[in-house]
Amino acid sequence: MPLYDADNRNNTDKINYWITQNFLGHDINLSGLEDLKGLVTTARLVDMLDFSRVNFDKVISLTPKKLLVIESQWDLVKLGDIAEIQSGGTPSSSIKEYWDGNICWATLVDTKTKY
């Protein structure tokens, strides 16, 4: 069992040792610990806390949020900053300016395949 050694709390083959070292502020290097591979990973505490609620409930997630990094040659901006987003029905096809002009209409289906 890789979690804890009741006879030796400083057993470096057990997870409790590495948790203790982390709490003590020591650098953690898990490379070379084949028995713990797939069982232990390091994560920032801030990625394990849920700040989306008004009341903080002191819950620590065991699966930290993964930081999403998008690399692009273009500046990343919010869609609402460069386009007017509206919801509703299809525009009237009797008003030709809507369809033959410079307005690009898109539905959710279009965003997956057309644009």
Q: Which residues of 76-86 are buried (b: 16+ CB within 10 A; e: fewer)?
A: eeeeeeeeeee
Per-residue pLDDT of the chain (115 residues; tens, 9 = 90+): 578 899 999 998 888 888 898 889 888 887 777 778 778 877 888 888 877 777 777 777 777 777 778 888 988 888 888 888 777 777 777 887 777 777 777 777 776 665 5
pLDDT confidence of residue 115? 53
How far apart are the C-alpha atoms of 24 and 80, rounded to whole Å? 45
Element (H, E) at 81: helix 79-82
- pTM for this model (two decimals): 0.43
